Structure 1
Amino acid sequence: MKTLLICLFACLPLLTHAGSAVHDDRGRRVALPRPAQRIVSLAPHLTEVLFAIGAGKALVGAVDYSDHPPAALRIPRVGGYHGFDLERIRALKPDLIVGWAGGNPAQQLAQLEALGIPLFLADSKRLRDVPTVFERLGLLTGRGPEAGAAATRFRTQLAALGQRYAARKPVRVFYQVWDRPLLTINRDQIISDAMRLCGGVNVFADLPALVPTVDDEAVLRADPEVIVTSGEPGANGDWLARWRRWPALQAVRHGRLHTVPQDLLSRMGPRLVDGTALLCQAIDSARR
């Protein structure tokens, strides 16, 4: 027994600094010799994830709109939606970069990989994919227990929503992404997955593009029971006001025009489950 204890104590430094390896959402292996200490985040939702798993203090760079939690506002910026300052990123000497495979410029991601810096790319397609990102980043940052707890909370809340709305009447929903041009989502976009959990039926699910352009006439033909947007009223005008021109539209006739805060529903991080809950409430209004 004494010999076993001596061996365990001798191995503690090795366990503390042990390396880790995971596969990202491209299926690529990402390996680190020790937990990441200097991280650059290339997406606001990944910044949120890192804070949620207790790794926020390791962030040395982030992109524009990384504004939650408030501590994220103090992180130096390395670019935004349209591109990154590669020299700035290299100067920060990160030992891990976390990016969004579906949202970051592919050419710049390839340039970052060419620098030899470990790059983890997330690209959640379904709600169930989101907590797996917590867990894998937990391994890469040495925050496994915190990441596991965050993932469990997310899954527990999702399961509760699924049980609450599983047997309820289906409701036909139009989700408005943008006003001009008028953009929506098809069945493969993650918000459509949230809609399904709530018992909502996406009226444009069958369109081929992930974020297709539609027109007013197409929405009128679809005649949704509920219209939901994440556009911020006042920023670009009231996006829902345009539909009030057609009082015969079911969603207008029954006052079922809803706004869900964009950060809650469009970011694939820990607050997505809160946005899903609000979406479910909006959809449920048609059942009442």
Structure 2
Amino acid sequence: MLSTANADDPARCAVDDRAREVCLHNAAQRIATLSPGATELTYAAGAGDQVVAVVSYSDYPPEAKQVASVGSHTRIDLEKLVGLAPDLVIGWVTGNPAEQLETLESLGMPVFYIEPRDIEGVASAIERLARLAGTEAAGQTVADNFRTTMNALEERYRDREPVPTFYQVWDEPLMSVNSEHLIGQVMEICGGDNVFGEQPRLVPRIDDEAVLAANPEAIVAGGMGEENRHWLTHWEQYPNLTAVAQGNLFFVPPSLIQRPTPRLMEGTRVLCEKLDVARQKRRGA
């Protein structure tokens, strides 16, 4: 997508997800995105042509893989990043090393922190990034489509029968999500009754015994990679678990549901369809 940024634009400001107002004299022309999610959101905002640095696993959209990598989200190659002379750095609130981002700020680089925690936060992040990049029209179109699609999915599935569901976000240690987590919110849209929804931590650590006690009707996992479903095979050793007995072990590609980006639309659609399968089996359809 062609950039609509104009170097002669007046100062533009946006509030980041640390409640800090970040202002640029001109629309950003050289953007560094320091997490795969930040990369996706910046491209979604219409600013892909302005991205000059990414981190490992920034694999979507495909053209992002051609951009210079400056390490991982947990360890940034500061010398390489500084050498690329970004005029805007997109950081991840809880994912990037705070001291490294503080070093970048001390060198005069504006750092805009993002970490969407809900559906509206994803749309808002796109709009704010578009504001800083001077790509407002493109970003607004994507943000509006995201809101419309997610609202339509909620309308479609809100009255479906609840399905007690366990979402496995990691295997060792075994981890799930609570109802406040973005994935938990997606489960709610689809009519999934999150069996660990009341846990106080966003990403609670649990064990097999806790899952067996909760006895979910469906188990959903992402796994390590887009085609790796081995996390689900672990549960087959428990044939009396309702999800196993009913054949409701479902895989959802992690990039569609574990990144707070517009692809969450597809991840939500896939999850909703999986839970509908569980409902059909319940009725013996």
CA–CA distance in 2 between the matches of 1:36 and 1:148? 17
1:254 correspondence with 2:246: yes
Residue 235 of structure 1: CA displacement?
Answer: 7.8
Q: 2:273 aligns with which of 254, 262, 281?
A: 281
Instruction: Give the counterpart letter for 1:257 in structure 2.
Output: L
Return the offset for 1:221.
0.4
1:40 matched to which residue of 2?
Answer: 32
- Residue 235 (structure 2) pairs with residue 243 (structure 1): yes
Per the normalisation by structure 1, the TM-score is: 0.91
2:80 — aligned with what? 88
Distance between the aligned counterparts of 1:181 and 1:25, measured in 2?
28
Which of 97, 101, 116 lines up with 2:89 in the alignment?
A: 97
CA contact (8 A) 2:222 2:229 kept: no
Residue 102 of structure 2 aligns to which amino acid in structure 1? A
**Residue 54 of structure 1, CA deviation:** 2.0
- Say which SS state the counterpart of residue 264 (structure 1) adopts: helix
Aligned to 1:20: 12
Counterpart for residue 271 of structure 1: 263
Aligned mates of 1:266, 1:98 — CA distance in 2 = 19
Is the contact made by 2:7 and 2:27 (CA closer than 8 Å) also made in structure 1?
no
- Give me the whole-angstrom Cα distance separating, in 1, the residues matched to 2:33 and 2:226: 30
2:30 pairs with 1:30: no
Shift of 1:192: 0.6
- Output the amino acid matched with 1:188: E
Counterpart residue identity of residue 287, structure 1: R
Name the structure 1 match of 2:217: 225
Aligned counterpart in structure 2 of residue 215 of structure 1, from 187, 207, 216:
207
**Residue 162 in 1 paired to residue 143 in 2?**
no
TM-score, normalised to structure 2's length?
A: 0.92
Amino acid at match of 1:99: G
Q: 1:182 aligns with which of 151, 156, 174?
A: 174
- Cα deviation code 1:193-232 (max 9, x no counterpart): 1111111121112222222221111100000011000004
- Decide which of 121, 126, 129 is 1:134's aligned counterpart: 126
Amino acid at match of 2:201: A
Asked if 2 retains the 8 angstrom alpha-carbon contact of 1:40 and 1:94, the reply is yes
Cα 1:74–1:198 change in 2 (3 A) is same
Work out the CA distance in 2 between the residues paired with 1:283 and 1:245. 22
Measure how far apart 1:98 and its partner are: 0.6
Alignment CA distance shift 1:130-1:26 (3 Å): same
Shift of 1:19: 1.9
Provide the rounded CA distance (Å) in 1 between the counterparts of 2:178 and 2:99: 26
Q: Aligned partners of 1:116 and 1:220: how far apart in 2?
A: 53
CA distance in 2, matches of 1:15, 1:119: 19
Contact kept, 8 Å, 1:232 with 1:261, in 2: the verdict is no
Aligned-residue sequence identity (percent) comes to 45
| Mapped contact 1:135–1:148 kept (Cα < 8 A) | yes
Paired with 1:204 and 1:235, the residues of 2 have a C-alpha distance of 26
Counterpart contact for 2:226–2:254, Cα < 8 Å: no
User: Which of 146, 156, 178 is equivalent to 2:138?
Assistant: 146
Relative distance call for 1:260 and 1:195 in structure 2 (3 A) is same
For the 8 Å contact 1:233–1:239, the answer to whether it is kept is no
Q: 1:104 offset after TM fit, Å? A: 1.6
- CA drift of 1:185 comes to 1.3
Per the TM alignment, residue 236 of structure 1 is displaced from its structure 2 partner at its CA by 7.1
In the alignment, structure 2 segments of 5+ residues that lack a partner are: 1-5, 281-285
- Residue 74 of structure 2 contacts residue 95 of structure 2 at CA under 8 Å; is this kept in 1? no
Residue 99 of structure 1 aligns to a residue whose secondary structure is strand
Contact 2:229 2:251 in 1 (8 A): no
Aligned residues: 275
Please tell me the residue identity of whatever aligns with 1:221.
A
Contact 1:35/1:141 (<8 A) preserved: yes
Task: Specify the structure having the higher radius of gyration (Cα).
Answer: 1
Distance 1:153 1:251 in 2: 34
CA distance in structure 2 between the partners assigned to 1:132 and 1:236 by the alignment: 32
Per the alignment, do residues 143 and 233 of structure 1 end up closer, same or farther by CA in structure 2, a change over 3 Å counting? closer
Let me know the Cα RMSD of the aligned residues: 1.8
Gaps of at least 5 residues in structure 1 are 1-13
Other-structure match for 1:10: none
Q: What is residue 200 of structure 1 aligned with on the other side? A: 192
SS of residue paired to 1:21: strand
